[in-house]
Amino acid sequence: MSPSIQTSSFAEVSVRTNLRCQACLEKIKPVLDGVPEIKTWSVDLSDPRKIITAHVASSQPYDVLQNALQLAGYSAEPLEGISPSPSAPAAIAIESHQKTGLVTYKPLFLVVSYVLGFAALMCWATGEPTVRAFMRYFMGGFFLGFAFFKLLDVSAFADAFSTYDFVAKRTRVYALAYPFIELGLGIAYVLGKQLAVVNLLTALVMAVGLVGVVKAVAKKQAIQCACLGTVFNLPMSVVTIVENSAMLTMALLDIVLM
């Protein structure tokens, strides 16, 4: 645990890093801004230790900051006795905005809205205005849409996915195959083929994924949710648990309705 200065509900923590230049700064910015616990942060690139100081709303502020920097590909070590001067001319200060759940997860909510619209349109187009048909088309659209974002960079998705999924941690083959599994499930749901098998496979995949997500959220790990690949920097949170739980519930419910 690093030394930290408690300021109201936040803890101020300073670390030395292996940042090198402005390009490094641009790389870590979206990652640190995407962590809800990190309220403000600043970097002093003029210091040979490349000090980052952050105000973190967590009981383990150093762990939150270190995990976020590691996610961006950089190291962080606790710095003793640092009292950063905001007036230093060479310091580069970047203040993250207060982020609400709606703003942070806007891309996810937007994609889910599109999927809901897709399911409603498919029910109307096929003349199947039933709850079961809506769930089937929703799950089909969900898997097709989410697989698309993962397939944009399968390797990067596998790297992010393996940080919290316990199967992906043990075998990279599963992490690399996951977008294609989702793609196959999406096609099967839309076509309505082999739904008994598809629902069982969906329930298994979602249950396995839910275990890793719950563990990551319970530990308050500052890691990236890979549900939309690595295109968007979505932090792991209860929202991810709800997402996996909803898909698991719909798959099980469809098995019952069958």
Average pLDDT taken over every residue of the chain: 83
How do strand 51-56 and strand 38-44 relate by DSSP bridges?
A: antiparallel
User: 85 with 175, same domain?
Assistant: no
The domain tally of the chain equals 2
Answer whether 107's CB lies under 8 Å from 228's CB.
Answer: yes
Of 72, 94, 116, which one is at a domain's C-terminal end?
94
User: 135 with 212, same domain?
Assistant: yes
User: 82 with 117, same domain?
Assistant: no
Q: Residue 118: what pLDDT?
A: 96
Q: Can you point out the beta strands (E) in 30-162?
A: 38-44, 51-56, 76-78, 92-94
User: 191 with 126, same domain?
Assistant: yes
Q: Residue 6: what pLDDT?
A: 46
User: 184 with 59, same domain?
Assistant: no
Of 70, 94, 118, which one is at a domain's C-terminal end?
94
Q: Give the mean pLDDT of 70-75.
A: 87
- Torsion over CA of 247, 249, 255 and 258, rounded to 10 degrees? -100
Q: Residue 172 pLDDT more than 70?
A: yes
Q: Compute the distance between CA of residue 163 and CA of residue 215 in angstroms, rounded to an integer.
A: 11
49 compared with 94, residue with greater pLDDT: 49
Q: Range with the lowest mean pLDDT among 2-16, 124-138, 160-174, 194-208?
A: 2-16
User: 207 with 249, same domain?
Assistant: yes
Q: Give the mean pLDDT of 111-122.
A: 95
CATH code of the domain covering residue 31? 3.30.70.100
Q: Residue 23: what pLDDT?
A: 67
Structure token pair of residue 170:
């043990």
Bridge partners, 94 (sequence order):
41
User: 158 with 175, same domain?
Assistant: yes
Q: Given pLDDT bands bounded at 50, 70 and 90, which one contains residue 151?
A: very high
Q: Compute the distance between CA of residue 10 and CA of residue 6 in angstroms, rounded to an integer.
A: 6
What is the distance, to the nearest Å, from the Cα of residue 148 to the centroid of all Cα atoms in its chain?
16
The model's pLDDT over 121-132, given as tens digits with 9 standing for 90+, comes to 999 999 999 999
Q: What percent of the chain has pLDDT over 70?
A: 84
User: 156 with 180, same domain?
Assistant: yes
Q: Residue 222: what pLDDT?
A: 60
Q: Given pLDDT bands bounded at 50, 70 and 90, which one contains residue 2?
A: very low
Boundaries of domain holding 230: 101-257
